[in-house]
Amino acid sequence: MHKRPKVLVIGTTADYIEWIRTACPGRVMFVTAPEIRRRAEEPVPAIIEEILCDLMDEEAVFGALTAHLDLFDLHPVGVACFDCESMALAASIAERLGLPYPSADAIGKCRDKYFSKTLWQQNDVDCPAFGIIRSAGDVAGFFEKIQGPCVLKPVNGSGSELVYVCDSVQSCESNFRIILEELGRRENNGLFGLGDVDAPRMIAEEYVEGEEYSCDFMLDGDRVEIIRVTRKIKAAGKPFGTIRGYVLPASLPNRFSDLLLPRALSAGARALGLMRCICMADFILRDDRIVFIEMTPRPGGDCLPFLLRRASGLDMLALAIDFAEGRPVCLPDTSSVITHIGVRVHADRAGVLRSIEAKAALEDSRVIEVHLPRSPGHRIVLPPSDYDSWLLGHIIFRPDADADAESECGTICEKICVEIDD
């Protein structure tokens, strides 16, 4: 019997699963954590499409996967992963099945912020000054060494979770204690990859002033093809590093030529041992330099795939499946894309969501899409205890000409009516 080809998607969320099933019908098989499926409101995939496994047990996952492939005569032709905490597992499965995917060694280099910046520094790739942190005294010493503010964060982790800016010696100590306490509560969270509790768990970085950007790019050897570049809008009055929204497309200043960014991305990826993958990179423009903050071999998440699909018609998740399978990938011409903004909707306090209503937003001519997946009864916990539950969804809109993006994000979000019970 002819075996049916399948791309394996390792450890993603239920909304992504439903998106991919719809965009790439019959082409994908999902390896999913049971708790993701238990909480999901999306339709349950057919039995041939998904297995539920404890993703922390690699041997159990591989055994269940190979048994499922044999049972349904499936032939794995690629591996894709959209979540940082599942990339190491994806790398191991790919290696054992002889499929292309970044190596476990490269994944480890990307996930470890101290290791990645050490490699960048050794290879003349611009990144902030940094130091490993083992104590509150280490943070204060780093702060005094660079004579200015610094950013303190876990060695592993993603986004703005447990990221603090220290603007005094006193804040160095207090922020160190907060992160240490919160890491202790996340001992079983695969995102932080804590491993040996005696190993260094934090890194301090120089605080870099400048506009911050995010981009996705395809890497194949030395060839880099940029998929999208977005400018980040930071959230005033929220925990440090919280992103209010993204502007797409984001035109870099003229001094950054079409060649400068691809060359910098290639050098940064090569230093981390990446060869062929879709990557996401965060960077800041400072003077005439591209200063890298993070690079990881997966597409950007959050509202970015929705924003990219609405602004340019490009389905980033389907593209990732095509890339994993080795199909030719053709990017749309984005030179004439009209500016779109994806703004994230955050709860302003903790409690239980009573209702969330978007009628006023939907009546605004600027609004293209409102995505509010939280239902009444959803429990909201604020950072630093939880960085997920307070995010209620996103809105995609076309800003008015010459309007201030930050202000428009505020006025758009005010059109969402949220009621929260204590």
Predicted pLDDT at 199: 56
Predicted pLDDT at 195: 45
What rounded mean pLDDT belongs to the chain? 93
Domains of the chain: 4-101 (3.40.50.20), 129-206 (3.30.1490.20), 210-337 (3.30.470.20), 338-422 (3.30.470.20)
Predicted pLDDT at 321: 98
pLDDT tens sequence across 309-327: 999 999 999 999 999 999 9
| CB-count burial class (<10 Å; 0-12, 13-18, 19+) for 276 | middle
- Within 313-396, residue ranges assigned H as helices are 316-325, 359-362
Most confident residue range from 55-69, 159-173, 280-294: 55-69
pLDDT tens sequence across 69-116: 999 999 999 999 999 999 999 999 999 999 999 999 999 999 999 999
Is residue 61 within a helix (H) or strand (E), and if so which, with residue range?
Answer: helix 58-71
CA atoms within 13 A on the CB side of 183: 24
Instruction: State the Rg of the chain over Cα.
Output: 21
Identify which of 84, 93, 112, 110 has the alpha carbon closest to the alpha carbon of residue 219: 110
Predicted pLDDT at 52: 98
* pLDDT class of 191 with cuts at 50, 70, 90: low
Predicted pLDDT at 1: 55
Q: What percent of the chain has pLDDT over 90?
A: 83
